[in-house]
Structure 1
Amino acid sequence: MPSQRWYRAFPDLTLFNSVKAYMVQAHNRAAVCWLDSLGLSDSELLKASGILAKESAPVVVLSATPSESEAFSVLATGVKGYCHAESVPEQFVEVAQAVASGGYWVPPELVQRFATAALTVGAVKTSEVPEGFDQLTEREYQVAMAVGKGFNNKEIASQLGLGERTIKAHLTTTFEKLQVRDRVQLALIVNRLPLH
């Protein structure tokens, strides 16, 4: 049963009861596809998210009980977003905007976990500089590295002795120079992980 929050966020929401029905009947594949994980086993969720991510618009998985392991698993299939099924309507709109523009969206509390996990995934020499980082100023580089470690803007500002607005300005310039859309993509690049 769909949440009323979904309808408040997206009054024109169309529901499909299966991936196959969506693939056959969906006329607007440019819109974000929301996949409700309720009632799906882990393997069914991964299969459905993989099919939709390959064949469809940007996919966001809605979870009644979000977890780090589930988030990692579905994002690895090519899904662009992952959030709680009972998020407030405004958050659904924010998620839709992020993924529709080519970015990723995960709950803020998971961004630090992703960055921490990314640091332990591969043994990369710390002297290696990710591709494109030679374009960054020293401050932009410092901000990017802090994002890669999972710090939020307030923490970065405190660490570098700068204002949050300055951090946002450095991030905007960094996104443009590296041609990334958001801090999740930046963290992936900093940690030498592939972008989907």
Structure 2
Amino acid sequence: MQHWICDSGTRPVATWLEAMPAAQLLARAEVHGIPASQPGILWFRLRAGEMIGTVLPRLGLAERQHLVLLCDEPDEGVVMQALSAGAAGCCNTHAAPEVLKQVALVVGNGGLWIGQSLLQRLVGSTARLLGQRAGDARNDDWAALLSERETQVAQQVAGGASNKEIASQLSISERTVKAHLTSIFEKLGLRDRLQLSLKINS
């Protein structure tokens, strides 16, 4: 999988090169020249004091291209903004090479990468919300719009499974999983996996 690292500077961080020795370092203005047919991960560095809106461009990413934010000063607010802007993950600019490789593996397989503290907070909030609604009728209207297999795929996504894991669990190919997800997003009027998870788990 190809890696493109987009930064305002010209000197890559040493850990980036150790984790992704074949990565291409690009200026932000060069991002639009990346071929849509080439799968890979676009890593954007958010330097201290920069705003996400000025760093993350409006990209029409291809199906097998993913975006990750490398943040000099990560916090939960930045992570949420990054996800809202279409990023599949957010991690520290100076993360160890092993962590960067893990981020690439998760994101490359269609998963989301967020910090442990934010993940725990989101799961805790969802669990409390579901507990409060336990006595109410569960709103499964979304399932009526999907086929049986699409419903199974949607439930797997809501449980945090990657495309590869879903394919293994349902004994189908990853290409079929992606096709089902495209149909699910279209039928439910959703943009991404995070919105789907929130819809199903709320």
TM tier relative to shorter chain: 0.5 to 0.7
Q: 2:113, 2:104 → 1: CA distance?
A: 9
User: Is residue 2:58 matched to residue 1:51?
Assistant: yes
Equivalent in the alignment of 1:23? 32
The structure with the greater share of residues assigned to strand is 2
Deviations 1:31-90 (A, max 9, x none): 111010015622xx23543513x3352100011111001101110111101111111111
Q: Tell me how many residue pairs correspond in the alignment.
A: 151
Structure 1 portions without partners, runs of 5+: 136-144, 149-171
| Compared CA separation, residues 129 and 61, structure 1 to 2 (3 A) | same
User: Is residue 2:13 matched to residue 1:6?
Assistant: no
- TM-score w.r.t. the length of structure 1 is 0.60
Task: Give runs of aligned pairs for residues 39-78 of structure 1, distance below 5 A.
Answer: 41-42=50-51, 45-49=52-56, 51-52=58-59, 54-55=60-61, 57-78=65-86
Give, as a single letter, the amino acid of the residue that structure 1 aligns with 2:122. F
Task: Report the RMSD for the aligned CA atoms in angstroms.
Answer: 3.9
Equivalent in the alignment of 2:181? none
Aligned pair partner of 1:191 in 186, 195, 201: 201
- Alpha-carbon distance, 1:112 to partner: 1.0
What secondary structure does 1:15 align onto? strand
Structure 2 portions without partners, runs of 5+: 1-10, 149-157, 171-176, 179-193
- TM-score w.r.t. the length of structure 2 is 0.58
Q: 1:189, 1:94 → 2: CA distance?
A: 27
Higher-RCO chain (CA-CA 8 Å, sequence separation at least 6): 1
* Residue identity (%): 21
